[in-house]
Structure 1
Amino acid sequence: MKLVPYTASRGTTPNVHPWVSDFETKAIRAEACFRAALQMKAQGFTPDVIIAHHGWGESLFLKEVWPEAKLGIYCEFFYHPQGADVGFDPEFPAKDAGDVCRLRLKNLNNLLHFEVADAGISPTHWQASTFPQPFRDRITVVHDGIDTEAVTPNPAVSLTLNGNLVLTKQDEVITFVNRNLEPYRGYHIFMRALPEILKRRPNARVLIVGGDDVSYGDAPEPGRYGGLTTWREIFAAEVRPQIRDADWARVHFLGNIPYQYFIPLLQLSTVHVYLTYPFVLSWSLLEAMSVGCAIVASDTQPLHEAIKHDETGRLVDFFDVAGLANEVCALLDDPAARQRLGQNARQFAQVNYDLQAVCLPKQLAWVEGLAK
């Protein structure tokens, strides 16, 4: 494999119209990739197949360089003004009536790729379903894959927090994982369930993984939350008055952690909570399934492919704070149910998402099919 780096020749235009700023960044990246491709062609390189995650725009003009090559694109998400993530959470309504116009233009990159791409691949059926016809019929659903041989249960796992607190499988541990702690992944709902959970489970430790940035959606409005600037701080401050000091000491914000500690954290989990808007399904959910976690998840469309209620996990309405607390506490009280759900979740991950046995062979077959 040879890596050919390239860089953009310009930045985004100051004060460009906000509805087109997203497409401008994609056009800038697409130009950089286009010019690098021209150099490769001049050096005699001609690909049979081009595989691209087109979401950032780079592949937009590659067929202008190599019109005979087959282009396969990774179809992660097609934006909709209703029925998916946008407008799902009434607590965070659109700030501007023109947001629907901006969102429509955000799909320009998708739509232009449909004209040149020969096929698509999507990690889940629900994500594929967000794409419109006729291109949807050209999308094959194959997940990226989980290494279920490496991501496996470990009854002997232990984790040391703050250099002195050692946790093992004998401890009651509730885990919650996001790349960043934000509403899109249900952080506000989880935090609002904590006062009741901590009250009813006096020995439980809560391990929260995630950073302070924003991966999806909007950042907090400046000045709206009394000077607090991150979603982590905002919702921690909201629930803190309802939680005694001794109980709050059992809540551990770990920030972003290296992968070498992430899998042991999941292996340690007694109950794992995963919540999301109708949006892209997180790898962390499938990794939690692979290690055999007992999972409580939101009853939203992306989850329905992986979590079958009371088979591979428990589903609760995304907005049902009391229901979430009840389901977590019920599983903490029921070791047999946890074991059953965890075993089923791991088996489901192995059968449907294993990288070597399931996903990689399908991915290679998809690439070979493109080349024909």
Structure 2
Amino acid sequence: MKPLRILFIHQNFPAQFVHVAGELQRRGHEVVALAVRGHPIPGVRFFRYAPAAPERPSEIDLARDFEVKIARGRACAAAMGKLEAGGFHPDVVVAHPGWGEALFCKDVWPRARLVVYAEFFYAPEGSDYGFDPEFSSASDELRMRLRLKNTVHLHALAAADRVYTPTRWQCSQLPPEFRAKTVVAFDGIDTALVRPDPRATVRLAREQVQVTAGDEVITFVNRNLEPYRGFHRFMRALPEILRRRPAARCIIVGGDEVSYGAPPPGGGTWREYMLREVGGRLPVERVHFLGRVPYADYVRLLQLAACHVYLTYPFVLSWSCLEAMSAGAVVVASRTGPVQEVIEHGRNGLLFDFFDTDALTGQVVDVLANPGSYRAIGRAARETVVARYDLRAVSLAAQVAVIAG
């Protein structure tokens, strides 16, 4: 294969490109990254740029989100122009379109192949919008905002020479006219690193507690603890789970920012919001909020989990779901679109209705009470990830073929 010059654009590089960018560099291609935040990875030249918000926002409220993304796209185009002036002329540009960076790639480099990473396309029904009536309500105004939120995605999809997306469910959310040029290629799970370990041990330093594989440990992981990932539903089930399993501990990993959706009513964090609601019924000595942890510690937590709980709106599938499966955990997960693509109830995981607190409670309690009955499910979970999502055997080859093939 002839060496190519490849530019990755992501506002928080490396993000989803962490594996494929490095792999392309190892295969002899010249790889450059452009980002607002993030950090470099070995072998990849890394450049930052700083977009500025419009000085005078539009008088039309509905236009302001797109206006900010236009400003981001223009700043990114200026940064691309500087790369060109410095002698870098890419053969391929790979861009995440969500924040506007992909808007003007073809205007700067019309002959470069544009590959778009289509993470999510918003829809007025069948996905996250209006899914949870507790925190959302349908209205004409919100539907208009949703339509305009897709503007940057539509420009990117129309301009793209190739498109790839992590799951079939995410592909199904794209407009039909763009699916023909879209390939499903998951980011990849390093199953050699994230694997079962019956000797896994973690010491919770603050509480002076040590937990090991074989203990009744429930894990729950989000990048940030928030309703999009079912944090509120899990917290409402937790008091009864721990009441019925007096030896169980729950370890919760995740930050207090908002990745998706909105902050809680009245301000503060979703963790504080839910503790105000259920904290009085929780045995606090058995509930451990760790915040964000180093990746190695996170993997060990998955390895020792007797039960891992994963919930999500119909939205982007989290890596943590597949990583827990790769570690051999028994995953109890919400029966929502992206999850059902991966988990078959009773074979490689356990599914429940997102809104059914009793079903979640009963299923977790049964897994803790009868671990031997569920070991085959943990083994099948790992087999699924190894067969379909392994980083080296499956995912990297698919992504490289889309980008450089």
- Choose 256-265 or 34-43, whichever is displaced more: 34-43
Which residue of structure 2 lines up, in the alignment, with residue 323 of structure 1?
359
Report whether the alignment pairs 1:234 with 2:258. Answer: no
Letter in 2 for 1:176: F
- 1:126-151 deviation per Cα after TM superposition (whole angstroms, max 9, x unaligned): 01111102112211001000110011
Deviation at 1:280, TM superposition (A): 0.4
Give a deviation string over 1:138-194, Cα, whole Å, max 9, x none. 110010001100111111111111352111113110011111111111111111111
The correspondence for 1:72, drawn from 115, 139, 154, is 115
Q: CA separation in 1, counterparts of 2:349 and 2:56?
A: 48
1:332-370 CA-to-partner distances (Å, cap 9, x unmatched) read: 12222331111000010000010001111111111233x
Corresponding position: 1:21 with 2:60: no
Deviation of 1:56 after TM superposition, in Å, equals 1.7
State the distance in 1 between where 2:54 and 2:200 align: 48
Aligned to 2:223, what secondary structure does the other structure show? Answer: strand
Mapped to 2, the partners of 1:286 and 1:198 lie a distance apart of 25
Q: Which residue of 2 aligns with 1:341?
A: 377
AA of the residue aligned to 1:8: A
Task: Name the SS for the 2:164 alignment partner.
Answer: strand
Distance 1:12 1:97, change over 3 A: same
Which residue type is aligned with residue 128 of structure 2? D
Cα deviation per residue 1:57-76 (whole Å; 9 max; x = unaligned)?
Answer: 21211111221111110000
Q: Quick one: distance in 2 between partners of 1:175 and 1:313?
A: 15
Q: Does the aligned pair in 1 maintain the 2:302–2:324 contact within 8 Å?
A: yes
* Inter-partner Cα distance in structure 2 for 1:66 and 1:324: 51
TM-score computed with the length of structure 1 as normaliser: 0.93
Alpha-carbon contact 1:8-1:31 (below 8 Å) kept: no
Which amino acid is 2:194 matched to?
Answer: V
**Separation of aligned partners in 2, 1:205 and 1:4:** 42
Query: In structure 2, what is the equivalent of residue 152 of structure 1?
Result: 195
- Deviation (angstroms), 1:46: 2.4
**Which residue, 233, 236, 247 being the options, matches 1:203?**
247
Aligned partners of 1:114, 1:195: CA distance in 2, in Å?
46
Distance (whole Å) between structure 1 residues aligned to residue 151 and residue 386 of structure 2: 37
Letter in 1 for 2:234: F
Q: Which runs of 5+ in 2 are unaligned?
A: 1-30, 33-44
Compute the displacement of 1:33 (Å).
1.8
Judge which range, 329-338 or 137-146, deviates more: 329-338
Which residue of structure 2 lines up, in the alignment, with residue 364 of structure 1?
400
Q: 1:6-85 maps to which residues of 2 (within 5 A)?
A: 6-8=48-50, 10-13=52-55, 16=58, 17-85=60-128
Is the 2:218–2:248 Cα contact (8 Å) retained in structure 1? yes
What SS does the corresponding residue of 1:159 show, helix, strand or coil? strand
Which position in structure 1 is the counterpart of 2:26? none
For residues 246-267 of structure 1, what are the alpha-carbon distances to aligned partners after superposition, in whole Å with 9 as ceiling and x for unaligned? x332111111112121111111
Task: Give, in whole Å, the separation in 2 of the partners of 1:107 and 1:77.
Answer: 9
- Is contact 2:116-2:157 (8 Å) kept? no
Deviating more after overlay: 334-343 vs 259-268? 334-343
Q: Could you tell me how far apart the structure 1 residues matched to 2:51 and 2:291 are?
A: 34
Cα shift at 1:210: 1.3
In structure 2, distance between residues paired with 1:9 and 1:134: 32
Match of 1:257 among 293, 301, 304: 293
Which has the larger displacement, 333-342 or 124-133? 333-342
**SS of equivalent residue, structure 2 residue 47:** coil
The Cα shift of 1:14 comes to 5.6
Q: Give the aligned partner of residue 228 of structure 2.
A: 184
Alignment partners' CA distance in 1, 2:183 and 2:258: 30
Calculate the TM-score normalised by the size of structure 2. 0.85
My pick for the range that moved more, 93-102 or 316-325, is: 93-102
| Secondary structure of the structure 1 residue equivalent to 2:404 | helix
Q: Which residue of 2 aligns with 1:268?
A: 304
Q: Does the CA contact (< 8 Å) of 1:186 and 1:275 recur in 2? A: yes
Structure 1 residue 292 corresponds to structure 2 residue 328: yes
Deviations 1:6-65 (CA, angstroms, capped at 9, x unpaired): 423522446544422322222122112212222333344322221111212212111112
The verdict on how the C-alpha distance between 1:270 and 1:65 changes in structure 2, with shifts beyond 3 A counting, is same
Preserved contact between residue 349 and residue 378 of structure 2 (Cα < 8 Å): yes
Residue 49 of structure 1 contacts residue 70 of structure 1 at CA under 8 Å; is this kept in 2?
yes
Aligned length: 361
Q: Which amino acid aligns with 1:78?
A: F
- Relative distance call for 1:4 and 1:335 in structure 2 (3 A) is closer
Q: Counterpart in 2 of 1:166? A: 210
Query: What's the % identity of the aligned pairs?
Result: 50
Q: Give the conservation status (yes or no) of the 8 Å contact 1:6–1:32.
A: no
Which blocks of at least 5 consecutive residues in structure 1 are unaligned? 223-227
What RMSD, in angstroms, separates the aligned Cα atoms of the two structures?
A: 1.7
Counterparts of 1:95 and 1:300, CA distance in 2: 20
- Residues 209 and 253, structure 1, Cα contact 8 Å, conserved in 2: yes
1:331 deviates by 1.0
1:190 partner amino acid: F
CA contact (8 A) 1:12 1:21 kept: no
